[in-house]
């Protein structure tokens, strides 16, 4: 289903019909907030179907910030990944002309709607229905590339289709932190590299959407593992966004969930769905300095978190904007301060 949806209904989303309530529709359309524009049934949970947002219109100030980082100029060509409503493509077409803009949308229904939206407002950039991770080689190379969905693995096709000296702007994140905004520059040696320039949380690219249900992984083991303790306060890691970002990099392929009690207590759950590994840490606001810990599976996830936090502290507790990413034909790596200082997961001690 499509259309602007206000987040104030009993199910979290209340449709706003443009014809029935044009004033409300326009107020929502021009507010400085993200608007969910497409929702689909998601994973089954207890006999119900979760309604999962799959497309949205970004906050106008986020749109403006990303376009500013893209630094378009007369005559440049742009590849956009994630057409959505077509609004961003229209802005680019207004600035550069229709022939300079190619936009790729994975969902045929959304792509058709975007084409109609663009046509109705007098714009005709090229809208391609396809997997944005593949770019659009038929129209390459591009001077600028912009993605409007969160990625963790930057597809090399986007680097390959960007001309040397070109700029790539995209949201990047992990299962623990979604996300940051990267500004990469394509080098003449077929690599792209650049810094984190701020925060920018987006819906995940559909091909990379992490498994959402942390508790399903936990429930897969009926008998909980034995309880131990940890001296690391979970708030130290997950109450500091820079620490959380670093943990997401150094403890890959994990998601988290938090269960809150009535008096400030909570349980933090971390899970790796692929391996069935999970951990839980219990916090109680009674002044204690040790916290209940359970770990299950081939990965000792909390041990990895402790090592990541220790690395972050030893590195001087760097802020997110000190990191950057380099993408090569062989893969990608995050670095701290300069491309020659790659960030690597600390080595855990082996079994005694």
State yes or no: is 58 an active-site residue: yes
260, β-bridge pairs:
266
> Which position among 55, 56, 58, 277 bears the catalytic label?
58
Pairing of β 142-147 and β 78-81:
parallel
Q: Give the residue ranges of DSSP H helices in 173-288.
A: 214-219, 234-238, 241-250
Residue 53 has which token pair? 């947002």
In 240-274, which positions are buried (b, 16+ CB within 10 angstroms) versus exposed (e)?
Answer: eebbbbbbbbbbebbbbbeeeeeeeebbbbbbbbe
In 145-182, which positions are buried (b, 16+ CB within 10 angstroms) versus exposed (e)?
Answer: bbbbbbbbebbbbbbbbbeeebbbbbbbbbbbbbbbbb
User: Strand order of the sheet with strand 48-57?
Assistant: 14-15, 2-6, 35-45, 48-57
- The burial class, CB within 10 Å (0-12 / 13-18 / 19+), for 46 is exposed
Q: What is the C-alpha separation between 220 and 275, in angstroms, rounded?
A: 11
Residue 339 — φ and ψ, nearest 5°?
-60, -25
∠ at Cα 253 (191, 241), nearest 5°?
A: 85
Pairing of β 2-6 and β 14-15:
antiparallel
The dihedral built from the CA positions of residue 303, 308, 314 and 319, taken in this order, carries a sign that is negative
288 C-beta neighbours (distance < 10 Å), count: 11
Q: Which residues are catalytic?
A: 58
């Amino acid at each position: 289903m499509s259309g602007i949806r206000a987040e104030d209904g009993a199910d979290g989303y209340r449709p706003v019909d443009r014809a029935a309530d044009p004033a409300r529709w326009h107020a929502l359309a021009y507010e400085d907030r993200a608007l969910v524009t497409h929702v689909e049934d998601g994973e089954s949970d207890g006999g119900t179907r979760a309604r999962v947002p799959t497309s949205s219109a970004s906050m106008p100030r986020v749109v403006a910030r990303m376009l500013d980082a893209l630094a378009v100029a007369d005559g440049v060509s742009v590849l956009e990944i994630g057409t959505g409503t077509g609004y961003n493509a229209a802005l680019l077409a207004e600035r550069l002309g229709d022939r300079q803009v190619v936009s790729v949308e994975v969902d045929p229904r959304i792509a058709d709607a975007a084409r109609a939206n663009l046509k109705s407002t007098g714009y005709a950039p090229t809208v391609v229905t396809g997997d944005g991770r593949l770019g659009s080689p038929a129209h390459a190379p591009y001077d600028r590339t912009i993605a409007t969905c969160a990625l963790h693995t930057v597809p090399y096709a986007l680097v390959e289709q960007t001309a040397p000296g070109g700029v790539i702007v995209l949201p990047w994140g992990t299962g623990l932190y979604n996300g940051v905004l990267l500004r990469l520059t394509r080098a003449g040696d077929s690599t792209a590299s650049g810094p984190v320039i701020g925060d920018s949380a987006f819906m995940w690219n559909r091909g990379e959407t992490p498994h959402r249900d942390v508790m399903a992984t936990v429930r897969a083991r009926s008998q909980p593992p034995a309880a131990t303790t940890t001296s690391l306060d979970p708030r130290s890691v997950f109450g500091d966004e820079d620490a959380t970002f670093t943990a997401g990099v150094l403890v890959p392929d994990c998601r988290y969930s938090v269960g809150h009690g009535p008096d400030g207590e909570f349980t933090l759950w971390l899970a790796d769905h692929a391996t069935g590994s999970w951990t839980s840490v219990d916090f109680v606001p009674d002044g204690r300095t040790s916290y209940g810990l359970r770990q299950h599976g081939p990965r000792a996830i909390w041990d990895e978190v402790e090592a990541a936090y220790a690395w972050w502290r030893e590195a001087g507790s760097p802020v997110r904007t000190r990191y950057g990413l380099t993408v090569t034909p062989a893969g990608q790596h995050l670095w701290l301060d300069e491309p020659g200082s790659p960030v690597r997961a600390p080595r855990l001690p082996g079994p005694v």
